[in-house]
Amino acid sequence: MGPHPAVAAIRLAVRRTLHDVLSVPGPQAGQVAAAGGAAPAAGPAATAPTAAVPAASAPTAPTPRAAAPAEPLPPLVLVACSGGADSMALASALAFEAPRLGVRAGGVTVDHGLQAGSAERAEDVAGRLTDLGLAPVESVAVRIARTSTGPEAAAREARYAALDEVAERHGAAAVLLGHTRDDQAETVLLGLARGSGTRSLSGMAAVSGPQGRYRRPFLGVDRQTTRKACMVQSLPVWDDPHNADPAYTRSRVRHEALPALEKALGKGVIEALARTAQLSRDDADALDAWTDDAERAVLRTPQQAASPEDTGDAAPVGRFEDTCQAAPVPRAEDVPGAAPGPRAEADPVAVCGPQAGSDAAAGAVVRSVTAQPGDPVAGSDVRVELDVARLFALPPAVRRRVLRRAAIEAGSPPGSLFARHIEEMDRLLTAWRGQRALNLPGRVEVARQGGRLVIRHGSPN
């Protein structure tokens, strides 16, 4: 008789993730077992010739055989565990699957110090992980600083910093996180409530972090399954009281908003929101790749701007790899606020993307990002220039991404740059009526000057 369906589900999810980890070369490739012996030393001591020995002298001792090369250690995968049902289920599945795939399995729990007795609880969780057969196991205490982003964001930042440190110290190939399909639905709903763009609606990625360190095997598994898996395996779990505290936005979404939606719309809301996350992520990845192509084709560094060949007026012609082709620059009368007159002489615009060659997708900003000669890369007076006519020709989704990247390049903090800021920047292109300059977070100013959109850090002298 096989395992309970809930146990089988979590083990299958972890098995698939471990197969993915093993298929990607990671830091474990260079790890060497400490007991395997050191490699022969390189350098003069290893290569210096020995003195000649006369024939009549005593025979020399036999040359010792070189030590066998050390065996590389199997890859190490860590599980981040809070002691809750989701992460305990994940830890149990990792402990079961890892030895069968030749993977070392360890665990780490983070003590945020936000509740009385948190240190003792963290040690208890570490003991449970050890009992499951995980090694190494660490309990890490962090200090939550007061920030303008709120306690939830500050705790998350401290937690990931601690996980990064442990993973790097042990050379872990991956760190598994216990986010479930329910968590994904909550994330999408929070992004929707903020009026965020496609990237925010894409929720949490199955793979994220430096070199794909963080893996979320349970994004296709619901919370009820993880709790059931813990119950049938007699795994003790700890329910964080913060998860039920209405003072936290996510808690209200979990216990009030989602149940109300399910009651009004019927079952399946959580699955639909999680599916929306994946579809949105696919769209966002495609749009970001398109924007990357545009930037590669048109980005100009300060050194290029200062080049003797650069007159400051000519626009370089770009092509986006093999999928792009040239298209004419839009006519001046088609761009709001543009001065009438003959259009630029045969300056092509690079067109890229699924509609390459169509007028509707008439491509990219040819002079996308420039800097004035002598401007520093960061700090005050950073200046970014965008060509209005060519920027106007971009599809809105790509154009707004270019605008956002330009604002960040000029010094606007990404976390403070919201959709309304990008919309106002876009209106300087699409609804030009002689508006005044815009002020963005981070002392960044955006102004339209002739045929250019100038984004600069600091006020002009």
| Residues flagged as binding site for ATP | 82-87
Question: What are the backbone dihedrals phi and psi of residue 175, each rounded to the nearest 5 degrees, phi first?
Answer: -125, 120
In the DSSP assignment, the letter for residue 411 is T
The pair of structure tokens assigned to 356 is: 């390459």
C-alpha to C-alpha distance for 165 and 75, rounded to whole angstroms: 17
**First-to-final CA distance of the chain:** 79
Quickly list H helices, 23-116.
44-47, 85-97
Let me know: does 288 contact 405? Beta carbons within 8 Å.
no
The pair of structure tokens assigned to 216 is: 């979320």
Length reported for the chain: 461
C-alpha to C-alpha distance for 18 and 388, rounded to whole angstroms: 48
CB-CB neighbours of 325 under 10 Å: 15
Q: Is the peptide bond before 59 cis (omega within 30 degrees of 0)?
A: no
Distance of CA 246 to the CA centre of its chain: 29
In the DSSP assignment, the letter for residue 237 is -
Question: What are the backbone dihedrals phi and psi of residue 120, each rounded to the nearest 5 degrees, phi first?
Answer: -65, -40
Three-state DSSP class for residue 192: helix
The pair of structure tokens assigned to 444 is: 């960044």
Beta-strand ranges (E) seen in 65-196 are 76-80, 104-111, 137-141, 174-176
C-alpha to C-alpha distance for 85 and 10, rounded to whole angstroms: 12
> Residues within the annotated binding site?
82-87
C-alpha to C-alpha distance for 364 and 391, rounded to whole angstroms: 6
Q: Which of 397, 450, 449 is nearest to 426 (CA)?
A: 397
Beta-strand ranges (E) seen in 186-300 are 207-208, 214-215
Q: Which of 123, 130, 138 is nearest to 170 (CA)?
A: 138
Let me know: does 328 contact 345? Beta carbons within 8 Å.
no
**Beta-bridge mates of residue 456:** 383, 445
